[in-house]
């Protein structure tokens, strides 16, 4: 069966043993983490932002991801914890003066030194190539090495002087343990802000209103200003003037003269001490009384009496 032509197979060709675990090249992994965007896999270019887990992104890629969250994007899981642009911090990076980039390699015949980094620590001078641990501050976005934090212990930023706390320090591209601690801090921080927003919301007072009853609060136009003596006099004059008007209106509307109150005696105008000219104005005066001959006869005529 086979082996024609005098071929002699070896043991590893016939017997299949366990597969060897493929080892990831550390240099290539570091280059991918520190020189390329985690979301778009493109070269990092300013403005560069970092999330609360310490991963590096291009700001344009984060904005595009937030605007178009489609399920087809396989790399969207790496940024699933980014809910808004407030969850990322724009970094203040210090350029490395020894980094030439692609200027000296125009023909493609020059060796690229992967250990050379674009950015350095502004305090110690270490290159940000993954060989040394770097971190940034959430409050200001300044980036420096972890060695600078340990050697120069201060409660303010070494670059801009902004005050920070231990919770604001985030390690860039840390280990799995660092990512777990940063994730727990992120969840606690977001829960704290959520509870703070609920506490700041004003409570609406519950007003119990009865049907058919309306309470009107006096507005600024209804409030009267002035001296108390003048207001009292005005109110008395208004009451005195409104009393005869209301009585006359009631009498005219009903057509009947109001009866005097109980115990009041009837007084005739003829018995009064007024002058004759004044008394002649009333029908009870003798000059107003006429005989039947002097009184006129009125005949009413309607059109429908024929």
Residue 120, pLDDT > 70, answer: yes
| Spatial CB neighbours of 209, under 8 Å, sequence gap ≥ 6 | 215
Find the mean pLDDT for residues 60-68.
90
Q: Which pLDDT does position 200 carry in this prediction?
A: 80
Structural contact between residues 36 and 44, judged by C-beta atoms closer than 8 angstroms: yes
Q: DSSP label at 304?
A: G
Higher pLDDT, 76 or 78: 78
Most confident of 51-65, 88-102, 152-166, 218-232: 51-65
Contact (CB, 8 A) for 96 and 117: yes
Residue 171: closest CA among 50, 40, 24, 36: 50
pLDDT 10s digits, 179-221 = 999 999 999 999 998 888 888 877 655 554 444 444 444 444 4
Task: Please report, in angstroms and rounded to a whole number, the separation of the first and last CA atoms in the chain.
Answer: 145
What integer pLDDT is reported at residue 222 of this predicted model? Answer: 45
Cβ neighbours of residue 9 closer than 8 Å, sequence gap 6 or more:
3
Over residues 215-258, the pLDDT tens digits come to 444 444 444 444 444 455 455 555 555 544 554 444 444 444 44
**What is the model's pLDDT at position 180?**
94
The residue that leads in pLDDT, 34 or 5, is 34
- pLDDT band at 303, cuts 50/70/90? low
48 band by pLDDT with thresholds 50, 70 and 90: very high
């Amino acid at each position: 069966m086979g082996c024609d032509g005098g071929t002699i197979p070896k043991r590893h060709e016939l017997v299949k043993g366990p597969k060897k675990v493929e080892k990831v090249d550390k240099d290539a992994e570091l280059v991918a983490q520190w020189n390329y965007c985690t979301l778009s896999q493109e070269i990092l270019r300013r403005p560069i932002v970092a999330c609360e887990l310490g991963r590096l992104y291009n700001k344009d890629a984060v904005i595009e991801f937030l605007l178009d969250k489609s399920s087809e994007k396989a790399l969207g899981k790496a940024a699933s914890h980014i809910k808004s642009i407030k969850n990322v911090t724009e970094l203040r990076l210090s350029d490395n003066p020894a980094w030439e980039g692609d200027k000296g390699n125009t023909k493609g015949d020059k060796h690229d030194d992967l250990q050379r980094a674009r950015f350095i620590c502004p305090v110690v001078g270490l290159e940000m190539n993954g060989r040394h641990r770097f971190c940034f501050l959430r409050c200001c976005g300044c980036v420096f090495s972890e060695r600078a934090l340990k050697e120069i212990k201060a409660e303010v930023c070494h670059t801009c002087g902004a005050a920070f706390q231990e919770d604001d320090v985030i390690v860039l591209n840390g280990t799995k343990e660092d990512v777990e601690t940063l994730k727990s801090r992120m969840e606690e921080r977001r829960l704290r802000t959520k509870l703070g927003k609920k506490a700041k919301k004003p409570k609406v007072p519950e007003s119990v209103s009865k049907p058919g009853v309306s309470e009107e609060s006096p507005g600024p136009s209804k409030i009267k200003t002035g001296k108390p003596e003048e207001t009292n006099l005005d109110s008395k004059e208004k009451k005195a003037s409104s009393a005869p008007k209301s009585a006359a209106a009631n009498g005219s509307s009903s057509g009947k003269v109001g009866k005097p109150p109980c115990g009041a005696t009837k007084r005739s105008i003829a018995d009064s001490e007024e002058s004759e000219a004044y008394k002649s104005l009333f029908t009870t005066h003798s000059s107003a009384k006429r005989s039947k001959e002097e009184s006129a006869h009125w005949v009413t005529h309607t059109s429908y009496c024929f």
